Amino acid sequence: MTPLLFIAVAAAGGVGAVARLYLDGLVGSRLGGAFPFGTTLINVTGSLLLGLVTGLAMNHLLASEWSLVLGVGLLGGYTTFSTASIETVRLAQAHRYLAALANSVGMLVAAVAAAALGLWVGLALG
């Protein structure tokens, strides 16, 4: 990895983290904080985009350097498994077991389906 690529991945990760913070705050201010809709939206859209980036890279429509910058950097900073995990635990601690189940299983199913769709689109473009 070249120093320039390293810097690009790191900078993209910072942009992704800021985008996550902004979007989560925006969704939370509109829908309230009873359920972590922002994190769910972020992880599902991030999975869709990562699937697309991966499909494009597999078809050689996206250079490997760009797949690292976008996939590892931007989308790695944007998505957040750890926050989703903590939010699920907090829901369970509040005895909101159905919400905790919906958050964990629902997000997993939606994120995997979104990743599959993004990958399919990326491969179909090739």
Each of the 126 residues of the chain gets a pLDDT tens digit; together they read: 899 999 999 999 999 999 999 999 999 999 988 999 999 999 999 999 999 999 999 999 999 999 999 999 999 999 999 999 999 999 999 999 999 999 999 999 999 999 999 999 999 998
What's residue 126's pLDDT? 82
Burial of residue 83 (CB within 10 Å: 0-12, 13-18, 19+) is: middle
For residue 122, give both structure tokens.
């990326």
Spatial distance between the Cα atoms of 93 and 104, rounded to a whole number of angstroms: 14
* pTM reported for the whole predicted model: 0.95
Q: Pick from 110, 118, 120: which is nearest to 41 by CA?
A: 110
For residue 100, give both structure tokens.
């905790």
